[in-house]
Chains A and B, each alone.
Chain A
């Protein structure tokens, strides 16, 4: 090979030329048959050497041995790791117990709190607008399969705004809307669910939620008013619905 560029062939094939030199050599290749053939042969040889030279693969036992040798902590456990095992089990048991014992939110209560919040934001929180219990109670006739009494609010801070039909667990019920100063109060009345019998104060929410069961009906009082006011309205309802 007599071309002056002959020493460049290997550098070009091995990608050792800088960009300007590569471009120069490429330009030369377009006019030099000798160098073109030499590059072609070098590339071909390099490829064949690469294929033939990758002849041996590390056996699996060598992989395992190397892995063990660089990660000895995986094969030999110190004593304190064994001591940790029962502690971990104990911790898991405690966490499990806490999760099991944690009272779950009654989805019915959660749904009613949501309805109360929706009402707070509504321009029309009630379907029957009246401060007269003798107007509101008859409105529910034919709309609900049960009846209940509304308390007499004379001399109390509570004012009846009205009511509408609410739904929970696909069952219809009453949502009564009261005001106590600037506070709004929802009293929901539904037919008692099977297994019902609980009552009291639910503190799972930021609102005060009072539950009680009376005369086969479940009552839920939801409000942002303080618990004293809530308890007072609960008492008034209980009194009104005593047989």
Chain B
């Protein structure tokens, strides 16, 4: 039984507009495309709201619609064609007890971190965006990206490792 109304959709969805745009902007790398993606996401989500199961994660559902919309767009298809994904175990990502690396992270400014995120392969970038920026739990990230939770963990570890390495390189230290 679906008791959700359109007013519920507004209440739930409108607060997600900025986070969805931020995610779309990172995914697409283009402001116009991000705008279209967000608008299309809202239209699709409203249309499918009747099938949304009350009690499940609405935020993950919205991000999933946006990501699927992106993946079926031209730039999304291009991304899938060129995507090279190397999975890594968590052990690769653990921060080492390395003083120059820790010092570089502490000193890194926002611009440097932005560049580090932008350098990430899309599959790692999206996991990092959802986990660290939207502060989603692993389970929520897995639902949004439609991937197993283990994959979320390994990609997140790899993404963080790459960000750290970029920062160390940019700071002039060894990778």
Contacts and interface: CB of A to CB of B under 8 A. Distances in A.
8 contacts: A6-B94, A10-B156, A42-B160, A52-B116, A58-B17, A58-B18, A65-B35, A69-B43
A51 interface: yes
Given A49-B133, A53-B129, A63-B17, A41 B101 contact: yes
A67 B25 CA distance: 19
Contacts, number: 132
A9 B164 CA distance: 15
A127 interface: no
B132 A1 contact: no
A38 B35 contact: no
Contacts of A114: none
B170 interface: no
A15 to B, nearest CB: 8
B153 interface: yes
B22 interface: yes
A53 B132 contact: yes
Interface residues of B, number: 52
A40, A53, A71 pick with most chain B CB within 10 angstroms: A53
A203 interface: no
B61 interface: no
A56 interface: yes
B20, B97, B131, B164 pick with most chain A CB within 10 angstroms: B97
A36 B91 CA distance: 16
Nearest to B129: A53
Interface in A9-49: 9-10, 14-16, 33-34, 37-38, 40-42, 44-46, 48-49
Interface of A: 1, 6-7, 9-10, 14-16, 33-34, 37-38, 40-42, 44-46, 48-59, 62-63, 65-67, 69-71
B58 interface: no
A51 to B, nearest CB: 6
Interface in B25-57: 25-26, 31, 34-35, 38-39, 42-43, 46
B110 A41 contact: no
A52 B105 CA distance: 13
A66 B42 contact: yes
A54 B39 contact: no
B35 A9 contact: no
Nearest to B23: A56
A45 B25 contact: no
A63 to B, nearest CB: 6
A38 B97 CA distance: 7
Given A33-B97, A50-B135, A66 B38 contact: yes
Contacts of B111: 52
Given A49-B160, A58-B17, A69-B42, 20 more contacts: A1-B94, A1-B96, A10-B90, A14-B138, A40-B102, A41-B102, A42-B160, A48-B105, A49-B113, A50-B135, A53-B113, A53-B117, A53-B129, A53-B133, A55-B22, A56-B31, A57-B21, A65-B35, A70-B13, A71-B10
B126 to A, nearest CB: 11
B3 interface: no
Nearest to B7: A71
B121 interface: no
B42 A55 contact: no
